[in-house]
Amino acid sequence: MRLRELVIHDRPVAVRSAGTGPVLLLIHGMAGSSLTWRHVAPALSQRFTVVAPDLLGHGASAKPRTEYSVSAHANVLRDVLTALGVERATFVGQSLGGGVAMQLAYQYPERCERLVLVSSGGLGREVSALLRGLAVPGAEHVFPLVCSAALRDAGGRVAELLGRLGLRAGPVVEEIWRSYAALADADARRAFFRTLGAVIDPSGQVVSATDRLYLAAHVPTLIVWGARDALIPARHGIAAHQALPGSRLEIFDDVGHFPHCEAPERFVDVLVDFVDRTAPTRLSAADWSRLLRQRAEPAAASPIDAMPAAAGVGGTRLG
């Protein structure tokens, strides 16, 4: 994938892209980068335009002292698409990226053609003990002791030596190591803990899209999960599938948190087949508003309801 740098609101945002055709927006997970899609991007780019940004605070993008909520990430991605001249895309998000993809579709429904959730965050409270432990207050100050530049460099030398001997780590180890190595940088580490704190506390995930899944019922949705995911349980994907009539669920046996890395050929086959079998949705902001109004409970009568229409606040009802 070709790497370019966009400047969004005076902040550099790294974006990798390749191919031509309908656009796939690939959104990586926490402490990751667009490089996580390297196993599937070459095959996908034969059919699609692949756009894979580094989220703000990650990879080669800027790491400012700013907000790192899923809404903030969604806003930046909207602006990235605008800067690239992309009006609509199929949103593909893994882990944190799944939560960002859902938020992006929620905030800007007119830009979402399809939704693909890969081991996605935001679909249940349970999350690994490791991530809950990192969310404990004060962990940010202790973490540099186990993730420093010196330890990163030493590990890199060991990996290089093993590579010369013909020994290579598997894709999961590579992903974990790349995330660990990135956090040796102080700015990346600060962004990581701010991102983590926006979605996880010591009791689990604090951001959930489950109460808004009914809105996604009008968007073709594919859910992909590894049966052996140790970070976010596969039952979250199963529950989301049950809550979304018409969605497609693919559970990969013998696969963990990174289906696109651990089983790239199957991942590509499933994603391409899903796109081929579904028509892109064309929801407008007005359509989205109508869906919300239809679901909303009628409000109780209030003094405002009784005011005459001339006052500018009467004459409208939810429902």
Q: pLDDT by residue (tens digit) across 273-296?
A: 999 999 999 877 788 778 878 877
How much of the chain, in percent, has pLDDT values that exceed 90? 65
| Alpha-carbon separation of residue 118 from 100, 185, 248, 275, 317 (angstroms) | 12, 27, 12, 15, 38
Q: What is the mean pLDDT of residues 251-261?
A: 95
Contact residues for 139 (Cβ-Cβ < 8 A; gap 6+): 133, 193
For the CA atoms of 186, 188, 193, 195, what is the dihedral angle to 10 degrees?
Answer: 160
**Residues marked as catalytic:** 95, 229, 257
| Alpha-carbon separation of residue 126 from 40, 197, 230 (angstroms) | 28, 15, 11
Domain extents for the chain?
A: 2-125+206-294
Q: Is the pLDDT of residue 317 over 50?
A: no
| Alpha-carbon separation of residue 104 from 28, 76, 77, 189, 212 (angstroms) | 14, 10, 8, 24, 13
The pLDDT tens digits for 57-101 are: 999 999 999 999 999 999 999 999 999 999 999 999 999 999 999
Contact residues for 171 (Cβ-Cβ < 8 A; gap 6+): 39, 258, 261, 262
Comparing 133-137, 138-142, 174-178, the range with the smallest average pLDDT is 138-142
Tokens coding 212:
């808004």
The pLDDT tens digits for 143-164 are: 665 554 544 444 444 344 434 4
Q: Is the pLDDT of residue 318 over 50?
A: no
pLDDT, greater one: 253 or 301: 253
Res 146: pLDDT: 54
- CATH code of 2-125+206-294, in short, is 3.40.50.1820
